[in-house]
């Protein structure tokens, strides 16, 4: 494949996280990489002027084909890259990284002095094979120190840990002040926070790191949610909030974390899940007669009607499609009116489609297979009024936040349905609703900031 064809193929890659491989003319994998945005990252190899004497230029000259595996999150792309390098040992990964040997993430039990007593306090470090001790728990090997540091750096933002030597620990313990990592909140400071409860919490954090690296993240998240609900029920809101914040931070590390082996066994896993999500949406929304290839979700954000805005987020073929997002500034309402505001946004969006069709304009956004509104009966009623006024027939469902209830209208009657959140279709609808809320709030805050500057 020539340079022009490679550049063209790179431009067709999804704008999504994943790992990519470059192959030579014999079909051998010569380089593995990871990307937050596959199209942008892979395209960069063919869009910049490289120093002809550089190692990267030498790599590009050898590329004959590109393959990729799309994943759900940047963190999964990182783990998958490590597994693919470990499996195929590509020539240019070794040349470009210049690492002496593969590296491991090690959890090592170690005794340190706390208030004059020896206490076993695990630490997390990186080590090469020759440096691993008999009782160490280790994960890997990973292909390079940079990959390993990226993995640990991501995890450390959620689960803080120590990596210091016993002598360094002792020094800061005597100073009664933590080191730099403690000050910037990347270590839970066991050298300063010495109570039994603090030490127990630290050890719990280490257990969670083991679970993440072992691919047990989904089970761990389920347990956290269970604990959060338990404390909330008995009105121990501070403890419940700790678990809520932990879950929120954990989403930074992964979204539906999957083991790299799942992606290697099925490179089309994300595509298969997206397809299954659409099928399950069709199964749980009674007003649908077919698989919804384009789903649009709408939300309103305002404070007492001021700087009111609407958002439209889109799922195309089961995948969140950010390039299709649209935002609306509410024009006609001076006070808070959920029905009126939703009506305005939907009327403007759908009448635009009719106008463009009549005038044969090519600026169509595409007719939605399903409209989802954030809310219950008032919002669903507004959507149905728009359908009636514009003489359209697009299926509509509301998603009420309380109990994540589906609200829909059949004939003149409203009906409600609560679906298990493990259902892939329900997950897709909730993700869309959350995105519409985030997108609307972002625009609302932007307008409020502008109004305050005037």
393: domain CATH number is 3.30.420.340
313 and 430 part of one domain? yes
Same structural domain for residues 232 and 279? no
Total structural domains within the chain: 4
- pLDDT (0 to 100) of residue 155: 79
Mean pLDDT, residues 389-394 taken together: 93
With a cut of 70, say whether residue 130 has pLDDT above it: yes
Flag the least confident range among 181-185, 288-292, 330-334. Answer: 330-334
Tell me, yes or no, whether 344 lies in a domain.
yes
Q: How confident is the model at residue 254 (pLDDT cuts 50, 70, 90)?
A: very low
Q: What would the pLDDT profile of 95-123 be if each residue is shown by its tens digit?
A: 555 444 568 889 999 999 888 888 899 99
**Pairing relationship of beta strands 294-303 and 413-418 according to DSSP bridges:** unpaired
pLDDT at 147 over 80: no
Q: Are residues 352 and 285 in the same domain?
A: yes
Residues 57 and 88 grouped into a single domain = yes
Domain boundary among 55, 71, 97: 97
User: Pick the residue with more confidence: 302 or 379?
Assistant: 379
pLDDT at 260: 79
Chain centroid to CA 280:
21
Average pLDDT, stretch 84-101?
72
For residue 395, the enclosing domain spans 273-453
Task: Reply yes or no on whether the pLDDT at 355 is more than 50.
Answer: yes
pTM of structure: 0.66
Lowest-pLDDT range, 41-45, 74-78, 161-165, 301-305? 301-305
Q: Give the lowest-confidence range in 207-221, 312-326, 331-345.
A: 207-221
Helix/strand/coil (H/E/C) assignment for every residue in the chain: CCHHHHHHHHCCCCCCCEEEEEECCCCCEEEEEEECCHHHHHHHHHHCCCCCCCHHHHHHHHCCEEEEEECCCHHHHHHHHHHHHHHHCCHHHHHHHCCCCCEEEEEECCEEEECCEEEECCEEEEEEHHHCCCCCEEEEEECCHHHHHHHHHHHHCCCCCCCCCHHHHHHHHHHCCCCHHHHCCCCCCCCCCCCHHHHHHHHHHHHHHHHHHCCCHHHHHHHHHHHHHHHHHCCCHHHHHHHHHHHHHHHHHCCCCCCHHHHHHCCCHHHHHHHHHHHHHHHHCCCCCCCCCEEEEEEEEEECCEEEEEEEEEEECCEECHHHCEEEECCCCCCCCHHHHHHHHHHHHHHHHHHHHHCCCCCCCCCCCEEEEECCHHHHHHHHHHHHHHCCCCCEEEEECHHHEEEEEECCEEEEEECCCCCHHHHHHHHHHHHHHHHHHHHHHHHHHHHHHC
Does residue 236 fall inside a structural domain? yes
The answer on 91 and 107 residing in a single domain is no
If asked whether residues 142 and 230 sit together in one domain, one would say no
Q: Which of 76, 97, 118 is the last residue of a domain?
A: 97
- Cα 417 → chain centroid: 27
SS (H, E, C) 266-322: CCCHHHHHHHHHHHHHHHHCCCCCCCCCEEEEEEEEEECCEEEEEEEEEEECCEECH
**pLDDT of 313 strictly over 70:** yes
Mean pLDDT of 259-265: 84
Which of the listed residues 38, 73, 97 is the one where a domain comes to its end? 97
Statement to judge: residues 92 and 105 lie in one domain: no
What sign does the CA torsion over 203, 205, 208, 210 have? negative
Supply the pLDDT for residue 403.
79
Give the domain CATH number at 52. Answer: 3.40.1440.10
Same-domain check for residues 385 and 280: yes
Q: Is residue 297 part of a domain?
A: yes
Considering the domain boundaries, does residue 267 fall inside one? no
- For 227-243, the pLDDT digits (tens) are 888 888 888 888 788 77
Share of the chain above pLDDT 90, in %: 44
Let me know whether 301 and 169 are in one domain: no
Q: Are residues 310 and 388 in the same domain?
A: yes
The two structure tokens encoding residue 155: 């995890």
The answer to whether residue 268 sits within a structural domain is no
Compute the mean pLDDT over every residue in the chain, rounded to the nearest whole number.
85
**Same domain, residue pair 303 and 184:** no
In angstroms, rounded to a whole number, what is the distance separating the alpha carbons of residues 101 and 81? 16
Mean pLDDT of 185-212: 87
Q: Are residues 405 and 284 in the same domain?
A: yes
What pLDDT does residue 255 have? 46
* Euclidean distance between CA atoms 305 and 120, whole angstroms: 58
Please check whether residue 129 lies inside any domain of the structure.
yes
Does the structure show a pLDDT above 60 at 252?
no
pLDDT band of residue 26 (cuts 50, 70, 90) is very high
Q: How confident is the model at residue 421 (pLDDT cuts 50, 70, 90)?
A: confident
What is the arithmetic mean of pLDDT over 182-188? 88
What is the pLDDT, as a whole number, of residue 451?
62
């Amino acid at each position: 494949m020539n340079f022009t064809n490679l550049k063209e193929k790179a431009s067709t890659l999804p704008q999504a996280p994943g790992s990519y491989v470059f192959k030579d003319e014999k079909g051998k994998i010569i380089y593995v990489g990871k990307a937050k945005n596959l199209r942008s990252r892979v395209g960069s190899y063919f869009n910049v002027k490289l120093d002809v004497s550089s190692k990267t230029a030498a790599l590009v000259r050898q590329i004959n084909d590109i393959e990729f595996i799309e994943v759900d999150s940047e963190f999964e792309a990182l783990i998958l890259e490590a597994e693919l390098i470990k499996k195929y040992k590509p020539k240019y990964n070794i040349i470009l990284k210049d690492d002496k040997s593969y590296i491991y993430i090690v959890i090592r039990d170690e005794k340190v002095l706390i208030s004059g007593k020896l206490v076993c306090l695990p630490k997390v470090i990186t080590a090469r094979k020759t440096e691993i001790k008999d009782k160490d728990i280790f994960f890997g090997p990973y292909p390079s120190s940079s990959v390993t540091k990226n993995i640990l750096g991501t995890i450390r933002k959620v689960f803080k840990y120590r990596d210091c030597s016993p002598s360094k620990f002792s020094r800061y313990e005597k100073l009664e002040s933590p080191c730099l990592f403690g000050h910037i909140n990347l270590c839970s400071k066991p050298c300063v926070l010495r109570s039994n409860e603090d030490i127990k919490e630290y050890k719990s954090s280490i257990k969670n790191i083991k679970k993440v690296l072992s691919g047990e993240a989904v089970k761990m998240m389920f347990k956290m949610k269970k604990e959060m609900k338990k404390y909330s029920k008995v009105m121990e809101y501070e403890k419940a909030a700790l678990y809520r914040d932990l879950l929120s931070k954990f989403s930074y590390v992964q979204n539906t974390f999957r083991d790299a082996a799942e992606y290697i066994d099925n490179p089309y896993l994300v595509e298969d899940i997206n397809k299954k999500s659409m099928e399950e949406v069709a199964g749980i929304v009674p007003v649908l007669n077919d698989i919804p290839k384009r789903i649009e979700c709408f939300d309103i954000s305002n404070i007492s009607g001021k700087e009111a805005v609407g958002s439209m987020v889109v799922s195309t073929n089961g995948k969140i499609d950010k390039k299709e997002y649209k935002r609306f500034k509410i024009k006609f309402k001076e006070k808070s009116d959920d029905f009126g505001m939703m009506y305005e946004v939907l009327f403007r969006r759908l009448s635009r489609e009719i106008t463009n069709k009549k005038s044969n304009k090519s600026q169509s956004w595409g007719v939605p297979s399903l409209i989802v509104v954030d809310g219950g009966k008032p919002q669903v009623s507004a959507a149905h009024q728009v359908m009636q006024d514009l003489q359209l027939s697009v299926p509509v469902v509301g998603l009420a936040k309380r109990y994540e209830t589906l609200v829909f209208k059949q004939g003149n009657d409203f009906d409600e349905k609560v679906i298990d959140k493990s259902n892939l279709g329900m997950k897709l609808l909730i993700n869309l609703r959350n995105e519409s809320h985030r997108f609307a709030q972002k625009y609302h805050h932007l307008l409020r900031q502008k109004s305050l500057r005037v």
